[in-house]
Structure 1
Amino acid sequence: MLRFCFGASGAGKSTTVFGEIIDRSFQEKDRDFIIIVPDQFTMQTQKDVVRMHPSHAIMNIDVLSFGRLSHRIFEEVGLSSFSVLDDVGKSLILRRVSDILGDKLPVIGPNMHKPGYIDEVKSTISEFMQYGITDKELSVLEEKSSTRGALNSKIKDLRLLYREFHNYISGKYITTEETLDILCNSIPKSELLKGSVIVFDGFTGFTPIQYRVIEKLLLQAKEIIVTVTIDPKEKPYDSAFEEQELFMLSKKTVMDLERLEYKIQQEEMKNVGSLPDFNTWRTLRDRSLDIIIKDQHVKRLEGNPSLSFLEENIFRYNAKKYDKEPEGLEIYEAQTPETEVRQTMIKISDAIRSGKYAYRDIAIVCGSLEEYSELLAKSSDRFGIPVYIDQNTALMLNPFIEYITSALGIVISGYKYEDVFHYMRSGMTSFTRQDTDLLDNYVRALGIKGQKQWDDRFSRRMPARFKKKVKEGSPEAERDVAIMAKLEDMRSHISTQLQPLTKVRKATAKEISEALLTVISENACSEKLLAYRDMFLEKGDTRKAKEFEQVYDKVVRLIEQIGDLIGSDEITLSEYRDILNVGFGDIEVGTIPQDVDRIIVGDMERTRLKEIKLLFFLGVVDGAIPSNVGGGGIISDIDRQFLVDLGTGVELAPTPRQQMYIQRLYLYMNMTKPTDKLFLSYSELGSDGKSHRPAYLIPKVSYMFPELKIQRPEEGSFEKQNVAAGDSLINASDMLRQYALGVLPDEEKKNLYALMHVLRDVDATKNAYIEKLMEAAFRHYENKPLSKALALTLYGANLENSVSRLELFASCCYAHFIKYGLRLEERQEYDFDVSDLGNVFHEVLEKYTAKIMEKDLDWRSINSQESEEILDKALAECVENYGDTILFSNIRNQFMIERIRRILLRTVSVLKYQISKGRFNPAFVEMDFREAGSLDEINITLSEDEENHIREQMNLHGRIDRIDLCRDEDHVYVKVIDFKSGKKKFNVAALFHGLQLQLVMYMDVAVAAQKKLSGGKEVIPAAVLYYHVDDPMVDGKEGMGPEEINEAIKNELKMTGLVSDSDDVIQRLDEGLSSKSDIIPVAYTKSGGLTANSSTISSGDYQLVSRYVNTKIKEFGRRILNGDIAVNPYESGDRNSCTFCEYKGICGYDERLSGYKTRKLDLSEKAGVRALENIRELFEEKTSDSAE
């Protein structure tokens, strides 16, 4: 017998039926009473029945779901020999079958490797099973869709995949959906079900396979009662209904269930007589035992007129209007989901503080739980509100899964860097972070790649270009040996750990699974995961603790499942990883509420809410309500509607249009859950910053309640916006920052004072945190130099320095401190960059020049062939030894050798030309300062304390790229050349600020050295020049010949710098020059004077510049030893010393913070003129002072 219990949402259907079952269970003690509910409702329903039962026990009452009913019946009839394939197993097999079919799936096959696609396929296959669609039905769909090419191709692929999937599992497994088919066959054998009373509660409808189960139950049970949510005024037995009706699904369910009963009666009457047609039979059916709850207002909402009105009118035709201000309803908007959640928490805090409600009286439903869950978790923590988010957690980012995928990745890729250190940093190995960093630096510095290099012992030291050589037997050498031993041990350990996987690169899935389980077991992964669990429990994060507690068993079960499902198939390790990743995507961890008094957070359809007083409905926006139920799966929304319109007779899952109407029923059921108040809210912007529109529900409710005003609570008073200490601390932080910046309005300052006072009084334990907030808000930069003692400890009283170091100090004192005081370095990389290019240029040119000087060859007469041979030999020696043979490490770098050769061929050609133009000859190449002997210019006394016998000195180190000399009877003329791999011009303004000291300092050293060697001759600085090592492209004109192009290139490579304005010196540099030079930055006018653009300087001015540079060097040396570590970057036009600074992530420079300031420097040519004037004035003042 089939009975119904009809009633609106909240009318008391469940209570009425449960009450009847409990009463009858006393009267009919030998009868079994079974209550079947959706899976997620079983626990709550058990609690409800136990609470209602006078004995608070349910001896002959069972609460089951369809799944649990299957297990119960299978146990009873002894049917337990089959294995059920869950969603994970289904995904694995679908992936494997699609790989086997390959090109036979032209549409689906190529997409099966895309993330998420297999879930779409699995969902479609599951739909076929739930709706009883077999190969026969699919053939009908294939035939009917023949005019729609793309759809027809998809159905062909799905049909083949579906058939082969069943063939693959046939005789070994059944799917979860098929358990109900087996249940149908087992029901007639069950004694438990014979004569039982069965209740179906909480269902909005049933799938075809569920209907088949109910049909079998109708044959066995004495009675089946089904609760149906429908307003009795809506005619529950009506067979003429439209899909847009609110209770369409309820009416359809009633009709479909009655059709089952009609079918059974037809069978029973087959040999006796016949029944009238179905519609006539429905009108004659005995409905006297059906329960119809027709109260004027539903029981749940008695005493709440506004919510009763909502229940009676929402989504109804000719809905009425409520002429008062509703007390049980509120709508509020916010700018963002974050603000919306925060305002919700404020309202909940107010409700709890009123004393009328406990947390368990409140629930939160979200239009999009995925978007709001994280926001709710964070905000509830700030407000100290206990919530339980009814959502399963995906595990793809769990360290255990990261460990497994990277371990497989290492073997598959042959020790690719990313896989190795993904594995090392997974948190599941036995290596410490420091050890991992050490290995990481070593591997990157030496360019260790590929399994061959990882299989070899780690014995190579760090390349010389990265590390100074150490003496054998020294403490540094012994430390190096210990480090190498540790690195080798780590390499060996990784290799040993992964050995089981390296043996199964291509094997059966069973063998790979066993190898992977061996790796996991030997690494003690289970113990490490439990340690993580304990850590999270100590922190009070039960959700994370539950994840780490469950993940090991779930992952191991997955690996075993792969071995069982496709065990005998031979696959590659890469294919195995792909299959495993599909399984990982399906693994989820569910949790249960830890506290009874907590707020349930869920979605419209899945979450079961009972006995709540306040309901907050968040995210009521377009796209979430109605949700995008379609979205174009394997069978798209349009295709699905097309198949429905064809009238194939094959029932599929509801179309998106139908689903949208069905969602209205869920909306209605949720909105009628609270007894006291319903809150609807939405945000104007989404989490992605895009605009949101309120869902259609908002204007619909506003129309029904014209006196209901949409609130904007975030604009409420300060007091109402600060109700919880944790949240108020965040607000205080923002306000303190504004206060510190001077932008907080006066009225808000008063609020801030009051808030800080209250926070200190409410929770004394927060005082330390408040102090940190204050400190952070008023944080400002204050230049605090190092103590003298600490500076001397870092640098030593004998400051070993170089001009480039001093230039860095001039650029930013703090950068100098980090690099040379703390000796921090960027990670060393096994690559060839711009600095390496410059090093090679210098080394080759040094070898080339030295070889010419050694052979006493004349630069002006050496032939091209011999020059090229010398250059090639120098280049070969350099690249063979440079950076641990880095230039041979890959094709790109090998191509770089050819590029270097081409540039250097151009360079030596131009250098020969430039030498041939004048009377200077190269005399020294790469001359080390130490070769010049003891010079005051490089051994500089900074200060001297005779009393304490403390002398502070700075010893300058450096190498001058090339020194050219020109001698006559009374003079030695000196030209200094510095080779640069990039363009650089001499700038007196930069020199004035200490940013370009190098050339002048080099000249001072060269001149001082020559004075010692000149035999009393006058040593004259002739020029300090930069040469750009390059093979430039030049702008050509049509018809230009080779000679003209060559001249243009020479002009492009003209040296830049500073030249003596003496005609005698200029003629020695560029003999016979009468107009514009193509080798030095000098040009004559027609009248014989120097042009304004000539980069020249008088002998007197040069002496002043030289003195200034020496003064600046001493100043910088003293400041370094006095502990100056100011964060003082400079800015000039579009140049900024921070732009390419490798330490900008350390200093904390932020112009928004008080105290930080960029030095604005003018480095233009005009500024250079002014700088020279300033230098003159400076020394004129000093001369004047000394004269006085």
Structure 2
Amino acid sequence: MLRFCFGASGSGKSHKLYEEIIERSTKDTDRNYLIIVPDQFTMQTQMDIVRMHPDQGIMNIDVLSFGRLSHRIFEETGKRTEAVLDDVGKSLILRHVADLNKDDLPVIGSHMHRAGYIDEVKSTISELMQYDVGPDQMKILIDNCQSRRALKSKLSDLQLLYQKFQEYTEGKYVTPEETLSFLCKRLAISRLVRNSVIVFDGFTGFTPIQYRVIEELLTCASEVIVSLEMDDESDPYKDNISEQELFYLSKKTVHSLLKCEWRCLQRLDPMGTPDYDRWKEYRDLHNDDIVLKGTNYRLKGNAPMAFLEQNLFRYRASSYDGDSADVSDSIVIAQCDSPSEEVRQALIFISRMIRKDPELFYRDFAIVCGDLSTYGEKIKRDADTFGIPVYIDETRGIKLNPFIEYIRSALDIVRTDYSYETVFHFMRSGMMDFDDDKIDLLENYVRSLGIRGHKAWENIFTRRPRSRRKADAKDDERMVLFLDEMNRMRQELVDMISPIMDNHKKTVLELSKGLYEFIQKGNAGAKLLRYAERFAIEGDGVKADEYSQIYGKIMELLDQVTLLLGDEKISLKEYMEILDAGFGEIEVGTIPQNVDTVRVGDIERSRLSNIKYLLFLGVNDTNIPKHASEGGILSDIDRQFLMTSVPDIELAPSPRQQMYIQRLYLYMNLTKPSKLLYMSYAGISADGKSLNPAYIIGKIRALFPDLKVRMPGTDPIERQLLNMNDARTYICMKVREYADGNMKEDEEKKFLTLYDILNKDDPAAAKRVHEAAFLRYTNSPLPKALASALYGNYLENSVSRLEVFASCCYEHFVKYGLMLDERSEYDFDNADLGNVFHSVLELFSLRLEEKGIEWTKFTDEQGQEILSEVIQEVTGEYGENILYSSARNVAAIDRMYRILLRSVKTLRYQLQKGDFKPEKFELDFKEAGNIDEINIALTPEEETRIRQKMQLHGRIDRMDIATDEDDNIYIKIIDFKSGNKSFDIASVYYGLQLQLVVYMNVAMAMERHDNPDKEVVPAAILYYHVADPLVDAKDTDNDPERINQKIIKELKASGVINADKKVIDLLDKSIAQGATESDILHVKLKKDGSFYASSQVMENDSYMAVSSYVRHKIREYGRRILDGDIEVNPYSLGNKNACTYCNFRSICGFDVSTPGYQLRELSKLSEDEVMTLIKDEGQHGRS
């Protein structure tokens, strides 16, 4: 016999049925009473039965879910031999079957390896099983999709995959959905259900396969009772029902169950049972169904909530005309700025209610979220601050657990043959016993040397890092210890990975054995338990549950993979994809750690009971109703089409149906609280987008016209703060506003009162807040003793380091004082390109000298031959053969050859044009001897004090010499640049471009030292761009010689040239021969012999003033470095500033919005303005 129990939300359906079952069970102790509820409701129902039972026990009453019912029946009647597949097993088999048939799956097969796609396929196949749609029914669906080719293709793939899945599992495995089908066959022989009374409570509807189970139960049990949500004004038996009706789902369920009952009667008495319509008409009038009418059990005494239950989503809805004060005590609608503010205000509300009513408990409150993924973590985080115990009612995926990352990255090491990323992902998984600092050191080491591949890792590390090639004996000792530690870590890693290294086309069983050995070798189980214990001590029960369960879950997965696919031979990549599919399906369920806790859930999944206050957050139109999704194998549009085209085959609800079903869930949730309903919505999303309230807000306000929307964020501060943590957060948020003087007088008084309380409660915290509020950067130089310790008693420096100091003192301190640097990578970049160019040009010159060939006289053939040899020698030795480490770098060698060949030919031509001859290549300052330009006394009066001296280091790329008839010596300095750099006199003035002038000063001092009786004249300081430029061949008639002349002009050296006509003639003889423009220098003469403005010339006395000024700047910078100047003072000049390419921006904290920090604005100056300033400073003297 089938009975129904109808009642509105809160009418007491469950209570009524439980009372009846308890009473009948105590009188008829030989009969079994089964109460079947949704999975997530079993524990609560058991507690309710025990609490209501006079004997405080459930005796002959069983509380089960559909799954537990199957388990009980199989235990009693005997199990099938097939193993039951869970979601993990289904995913594994579906992936494997899809791989075997990928050529026949044009749509699904091409996406199977996409992250998450296998889960979508599994969900769709599971849905088809739940709704009893087999491959034959799918053919009907396909035949009705002739006009929808894309949908037809998807369904065809699904049908084939479904069929192959069934073939693979037949006789070996059974799915949970098929378990219910098998259950139907076993119910008839079960003593548990025979003549029992069975109650279905808490369901809003059933799937087709569940209806089949209920139909079988009707034939075996003496009575089946089903409770359904429906008010006393609705007719549950009415034939014509509309989807728009609030209780449509309940009425549809009634009709489906009545058909089940009628079919049972027909099976028992085919001749005596009338047709369905006549039978139903009789049953509608003669039944023992329970209809609960009258006073609402839950909402008794709460008139506004009772009115809400009776009128929400009803077409006859009217406005509440009761006392408006009662409404505000029963329903609250709050508008907040953001989801975070919603959560905060909800927790403030709970705390206030708990304090106000000592009889309230946290379990009297529940939170429902429109979007649990957005609000769940915020609630968990903020609840800890408020001291409110919460339980998030959701199952958690474990794909980001360290144990999963540990396994994944270990297999990835093997798959990628020890790539950098996978090795250090593994080492930082949280499951290794290495210190983070040591892992960083190891990563720096292997990256700088390009160590990759298992062979490299299996060999002992002996090489020095690229940054530490030059070392003294003390550093050698440190290096031995360093390499010992690196090798210890290397060996431990290699040993750990060894069980899974040999993996070529093995069976799944062999691969799983290797992985199991790897897991055991790493002692992963014990480590996970220690994590779980730590989380438990810290009070994080959710994490403790996850870490205590995950090891067993992974072992079960390996067992399942081996059981399902053990003898299959697959690649490691395929094995990893199978494991990934399994990892994605593993979920860890948790239970509340405390009975007295606020339960947090969503609208559809969570089942709440006995709550007094419900807080509904995220009531925005983006969350309610849930919008039709575009994802999934079958989109919502596909479902709508199939439902319309093939109405006889039922699938999961269409988007339209789902929208109406959501209304029922909303009705059930909003009428759950017995005392107060709190609803809130955000005005702005977490990403700053404007939000609107959901339609339900408007409906409730229409029912209660006097209900005002509250804005709790604007409440006085005394209503916002509940404890010291809350007060501390408020002070931190508002302290800047106070510091800027933007607070109103009343708020300022309250703020100062709170700050005073904080200062007494936690003086250290108050001090930190004060410092943060009035944060101001002030320059604090290093003590001179500390500066001396950092830089050495005898300051050794280079020109480039001094330029960095001029750019920003703090950058110099970090880079050369603290010796911080970016991680050295085994790569070939622009800096390496410059180094190779310098080395090749130096070696090219040496080879010419060895062969007795002058720079101006080598032939093209000789140049090509020498250059080829030199490039091969330099690239073969450079940076641990880095140039041969990749095809890209090998290709770069050909490009370098082309550029350098162009360069040596052009340099030859430039020398041929003048009287200068190369004197030195890569001239080290050490060769200059003891000259003042290198050994600099920082203060004249203290020359003997070691601490006040500085020695410059550097290398001059090329120094050329020429002499005249008077035996005067002329010097030309060439600096090779791989990039296009120009000389800027303003940058020299500001200390940003000292190099060329310093090189000339050193070169002149050397010559004066070696030739004290001769005059030494600065001829030119020049940059030469090492390049092979492209030129426009227009106006050349494609003549190679004319094109070459264009290229030569493009490669003119740039810098500063002595304006003395004699010097110009020495540099370019064509000028002496009457030419008005040089093709090797930026020099152009007017008819009167004067220079055009574009000429890069400078009078000798002006240059000597610049030279003297640079000497002064170097001495000044040296003094300031040893005086401990580390000011954060980045320069800004035009569109350039020191921060643009600085590698240490994250360290210095520079921020122009913080008082005290500012860019050092340097004025753009013309050459005349710079020279005036330099000469003025010279005339006024320098310290």
Alignment of 1:754-769 (within 5 A): 754-760=753-759, 764=761, 766-769=762-765
CA distance in 1, matches of 2:387, 2:337: 23
Deviates more, 1:124-133 or 1:323-332: 323-332
Partner SS state of residue 232, structure 1: coil
What percent of counterpart residues are identical?
50
Distance in 2 (alpha carbons) for counterparts of 1:682 and 1:816: 52
Asked if structure 2 preserves the Cα contact closer than 8 Å seen for 1:275 and 1:281, the reply is no
1:287 deviates by 4.3
2:835 to 833, 839, 846: 839
Which residue number corresponds to residue 349 of structure 2? Answer: 347
Q: What CA distance in whole angstroms lies between the structure 1 residues aligned with 2:95 and 2:621? A: 35
Q: Is 1:1031 matched with 2:1028? A: yes
Q: Does 1:1002 align with 2:1003?
A: no
Matches within 5 A, 1:817-836: 817-836=813-832
Q: Give the alignment of 1:1173-1188 within 5 angstroms.
A: 1173-1182=1172-1181
Cα contact 2:144–2:646 (8 A) shared by 1: no
> Paired residue for 2:1096?
1095
Cα deviation, residue 743, structure 1: 4.7
Deviations 1:92-113 (A, max 9, x none): 1111111111211222211111
1:467 matched to 2:468? The reply is yes
TM-score normalized with structure 1 length: 0.96
1:1136 aligns with 2:1133: no
Determine if contact 1:34/1:196 at 8 Å carries over to the other structure.
yes
Amino acid at match of 1:94: L
In structure 1, the partner of 2:176 is 176
Partner residue in 1 for 2:1044: 1046
| 1:361-760 matches, cutoff 5 A | 361-463=364-466, 466-470=467-471, 474-628=473-627, 630-647=629-646, 649-741=648-740, 743-744=742-743, 748-760=747-759
Which residue number corresponds to residue 788 of structure 2?
A: 792
Would you say the 8 A contact 1:262–1:278 is kept in 2?
Answer: no
1:887 aligns with 2:889: no
| SS at structure 2 position matched to 1:781 | coil
Which shows bigger deviation, 313-322 or 857-866?
A: 857-866
Letter in 1 for 2:866: I
Matches within 5 A, 1:238-277: 238-270=238-270, 273-277=272-276
Tell me what 2:7 maps to: 7
Give runs of aligned pairs for residues 1114-1133 of structure 1, distance below 5 A.
Answer: 1114-1133=1115-1134
The structure-2 alpha-carbon separation of the partners of 1:736 and 1:948, relative to structure 1 and needing over 3 Å to count, comes to: farther
Bigger shift: 1007-1016 or 451-460?
Answer: 451-460
Q: Deviation string for 1:1030-1068 (max 9, x for gaps)?
A: 112234425543333222222221112122221122221
In the aligned structure 1, how far is the partner of 2:298 from the partner of 2:1012? 114
Given that residues 740 and 777 in structure 1 are in contact (C-alpha distance below 8 angstroms), is that contact kept between their aligned partners in structure 2? Answer: yes
Residue 630 of structure 1 deviates from its aligned partner by: 4.7
Tell me, yes or no, if the aligned pair for 1:259 and 1:278 is still in contact at 8 Å: no
Q: Structure 1 residues 734 and 376, CA, compared in 2 at 3 Å: closer, same or farther?
A: same
Q: CA deviation at 1:971?
A: 1.0
Q: Deviations along 1:951-1010, whole A, 9 cap, x unmatched?
A: 521111111111111113341111111111112222222112211221111111111111
SS of the equivalent of 1:300 reads coil
The question of whether the paired residues in 1 share the 8 Å contact of 2:35 and 2:61 is answered with: yes
Q: CA deviation at 1:632?
A: 4.6
Cα-Cα RMSD: 2.1
| In 1: Cα distance, 2:1110 partner to 2:907 partner | 29
Secondary structure of the residue aligned to 2:368 is strand
Verify: 1:981 aligned to 2:978, yes or no.
Answer: yes
Report if aligned partners of 2:339, 2:686 keep a CA contact under 8 Å in 1: yes
Q: Which moved more, 1:150-159 or 1:512-521?
A: 150-159
Q: Whole-Å Cα distance in 2 between the matches of residues 489 and 175 of structure 1?
A: 49
CA distance in 2, matches of 1:646, 1:1029: 73
Per-residue deviation, 1:674: 0.6
Residues of 1 paired with 2:947 and 2:660: CA distance?
91
5+ long unaligned stretches in structure 2: none
CA distance in 2, matches of 1:30, 1:760: 71
**Residues 277 and 839 from structure 1, CA distance in 2 versus in 1: closer, same or farther, beyond 3 angstroms?**
closer
Q: How does 1:919-938 map to 2 (within 5 A)?
A: 919-938=915-934
Rounded Cα–Cα distance in structure 2 between residues aligned with 1:387 and 1:657: 34
Moved more, 647-656 or 126-135: 647-656
Alignment of 1:271-286 (within 5 A): 273-284=272-283
Secondary structure of the 2:961 match is strand
Residue 1106 of structure 2 corresponds to residue 1105 of structure 1: yes
Instruction: Indicate conservation of the 8 Å contact 1:342/1:379, yes or no.
Output: yes
What is the identity, as a one-letter code, of the residue corresponding to 1:1052?
Answer: E
In structure 2, the CA distance between the partners of 1:1065 and 1:941, relative to structure 1 (3 Å rule), is same
Give the CA deviation at 1:202. Answer: 0.5
**Worse-superposed segment, 108-117 or 942-951:** 942-951
Deviations 1:852-911 (CA, angstroms, capped at 9, x unpaired) = 344443333332222222222222221111111111111111111111111111111111
CA, structure 1 residues 377+523, in 2 after alignment: closer, same or farther (shift >3 Å)? same
Counterpart amino acid of 2:224? Answer: I
Displacement after TM superposition at 1:1101 (Å): 2.4
Q: Which amino acid aligns with 2:613?
A: L
Find the aligned partners of 1:1125 and 1:229 in 2 and give their Cα distance: 75
Alignment pair present for 1:329 and 2:334: no
Contact in 1 for aligned 2:942/2:948 (Cα 8 Å): no
648 and 610 in structure 1: CA distance in 2 versus 1, 3 angstrom threshold: closer
Q: Secondary structure at the match of 1:879?
A: helix
Tell me if the contact between 1:941 and 1:952 (Cα under 8 Å) persists in the aligned partners.
yes
Aligned residue number for residue 142 of structure 1:
142
Structure 1: distance between partners of 2:759 and 2:242: 62
Alignment of 1:17-96 (within 5 A): 17-79=17-79, 81-96=81-96
- AA in 1 matched with 2:888: R
Q: Is the 8 A contact 1:978 1:1026 kept in 2?
A: yes
* Conserved 8 A contact 1:269-1:275: no
TM-score (norm 2): 0.96
CA distance in 2 between partners of 1:1133 and 1:1036 (Å): 35
The equivalent residue for 1:1080 is 1081
Residues 872 and 748 (structure 1), Cα distance of their counterparts in 2 relative to 1, 3 Å cut? farther
Partner letter of residue 90 of structure 1?
A: K
Looking at structure 2, the residues matched to 947 and 877 of structure 1 have their Cα atoms a distance apart, in angstroms, of: 45
Distance in 2 of aligned mates of 1:142 and 1:1181: 96
- Give the 5 Å matches for 1:89-238: 89-238=89-238
Aligned to 2:1059: 1061
Q: Which 5+ residue runs of structure 1 have no aligned equivalent?
A: none
Could you tell me which residue of structure 2 aligns to residue 338 of structure 1?
340
Is the contact between residue 1028 and residue 1053 of structure 1 (CA under 8 Å) also seen in structure 2? yes
The residue type paired with residue 1126 of structure 1 is: E
Q: Which residue in the other structure is 1:289 paired with? A: 288
Q: Offset of 1:1159 from its aligned partner?
A: 0.4
Native 8 Å contact 2:262 2:279 kept in 1: no
How far the C-alpha of 1:221 sits from its partner, in A, is: 1.7
Alignment match, 1:957: 953
How many residue pairs get aligned? The number is: 1173
| Aligned counterparts of 2:696 and 2:827: Cα–Cα separation in 1 | 61
Pairing partner for 2:902 from 901, 906, 914: 906
| Contact 1:1027-1:1055 at 8 Å conserved across structures | yes
Secondary structure (helix, strand or coil) at the match of 2:1069 reads coil
Contact 1:37–1:64 (CA under 8 A) maintained in structure 2:
yes
The whole-number CA distance in structure 2 between the counterparts of 1:632 and 1:486 is 51
CA change 1:951–1:249 in 2 (3 A) is: closer
Structure 1 CA distance, aligned partners of 2:1118 and 2:24?
99
Which of 1126-1135 and 413-422 deviates more? 413-422
Deviation at 1:748, TM superposition (A): 4.1
Greater CA drift, 1010-1019 or 713-722 = 713-722
CA distance in 2, matches of 1:1068, 1:738: 69
TM superposition shift of 1:169: 1.4
